[in-house]
Amino acid sequence: MTNLNNTPDLMNDKLVDMLFITEFTGLSNKWFYKLIQEGQFPKPIKLGRSSRWLQSEIETWMQQRIVDSRG
């Protein structure tokens, strides 16, 4: 979710890890790290040694893949 300033609304969003993403999509973590390197998947938010993503960005990315696949 984003607010009117086009910045994440952190009070209404979650930070998710790669395990969430792989379970949500059924795709491997290696696939996603390749997509990140190619600029085709949202970059992680680094928290120390951990990587997290905004759940809303993952859902938006997935919705766009569905739209793209249906023409």
Looking up residue 23, the CATH number of its domain turns out to be 1.10.238.160
Chain-centroid distance, C-alpha 37: 14
- How much of the chain is helix, strand and coil, in % rounded to 5? 50, 15, 30
- pTM value? 0.81
Residue 25 structure tokens: 């999509």
The range of the structural domain enclosing residue 37 comes to 14-70
- Identify whether 33 is part of a domain: yes
Over the chain, what is the mean pLDDT?
92
SS (H, E, C) 16-37: ECHHHHHHHHCCCHHHHHHHHH
Q: How many domains, in total, are found in the chain?
A: 1
Task: Give 12-22 pLDDT, tens digit per residue.
Answer: 899 999 999 99
